[in-house]
Amino acid sequence: MAPLSHSQARETPYSDWFDGTFYTDTHSHPTPRDPTSSIPQTEAKKNWTEEKSRGSRHILDTAPFSLWDDDAHDYTRLTRENSRWIFDKYNATASSDPLIETYQAIPWTPPSPQNGAEIWDVFKGVGSVHSLNFIWPTLTVELATDSRIYINESLLNKIGGWALHYHQGEPFWKSTVPLAQQRQMAATSLRGDETNYLRTGDGVIGPGIRVEGRTMASSAGVRIRNGARVRITLADHGFEDDTRVYHPDGDGGDPIANIEERFPDHD
């Protein structure tokens, strides 16, 4: 509202209370009725000190570490030092992972006997445990089959960086059943399947069938077609020094093809 004139001040019940001293930007900023004709330009506020597809850092992020590894192009796990910084920064008194400050798992590496004992001691205080099965990134906890009943969400969901799964009843590894498809043919040789598929079945060599060169054994890739011409693909690194392909082996097998084209960059 603009300052009142003397005549307005006499005729209106409103008073001019603003003298412009407490803030310098309270006046309005008119814009065109059609904003598309002249789009107002506003300065974007910068919220990121570093922007990239992964590992961006916000201006409020003061952590002295990042969980993104640019060299490995992958996320990393919290270290003990990282965890201590978080606890100190936010005055934390507890964590969903009781071992976060003393032990964090290394991917694909089982815990040491000492770390395993630490994990076992934690579980002794929360339940009756029969065994622990470590298969990264999951720790399957076999709860003892006794009268104890556990309600949903009453147990830990992580310990030492391991995601926890629980099983109670017949020991898990003893209660598995063969639900997967069974092999139709078992290999009779340490060399693998040496069946000559050109002389059995439909006489077609397809993906996974044994083929050999002069020194290396491999398996056939997919079949490709160009009009009436059918070819099979091979792994180039299995025939680096060869131009002839044999099936099922290079000793008494049939020579089935000559290698005509190579694409090592796509191997």
Q: Give the model's pLDDT for residue 26.
A: 54
pTM for the model stands at 0.43
Give the β-pairing of 138-143 and 162-168.
parallel
CA distance 6 to 18: 16
What's the order of all strands across the beta sheet hosting 158-159? 129-135, 138-143, 162-168, 158-159
- Beta-bridged to residue 133, according to DSSP, are 140
Q: Give the model's pLDDT for residue 104.
A: 87
Mean pLDDT over the full length of the chain: 79
- Mean pLDDT, to the nearest integer, of 251-262? 85
Q: Give the model's pLDDT for residue 167.
A: 86
Asked if residue 204 belongs to a domain, the reply is no
For 257, the domain range is 210-266
What is the amino acid identity at position 97?
D
How many separate domains does the chain show? 2
Is the Cβ–Cβ distance between 108 and 99 less than 8 Å? no
- Mean pLDDT, to the nearest integer, of 118-131? 88
Q: Give the model's pLDDT for residue 71.
A: 86
Give the CA angle between residues 16, 19, 23 to the nearest 5°: 120
More confident residue, 187 or 263: 263
More confident residue, 154 or 46: 154
Asked if residue 41 belongs to a domain, the reply is no
Is the Cβ–Cβ distance between 118 and 132 less than 8 Å? no
Asked if residue 126 belongs to a domain, the reply is yes
CA distance 128 to 148: 8
Asked if residue 13 belongs to a domain, the reply is no
Asked if residue 103 belongs to a domain, the reply is no
Asked if residue 86 belongs to a domain, the reply is no
Asked if residue 143 belongs to a domain, the reply is yes
Residue 8 has pLDDT above 80, yes or no: no
- Mean pLDDT, to the nearest integer, of 202-206? 84
Q: Give the model's pLDDT for residue 19.
A: 56
Q: What percent of the chain has pLDDT over 70?
A: 76
Q: Give the model's pLDDT for residue 65.
A: 92
pLDDT tens digits, 33-88: 665 655 556 666 778 888 777 788 888 899 999 888 888 888 887 787 888 898 89
Asked if residue 227 belongs to a domain, the reply is yes
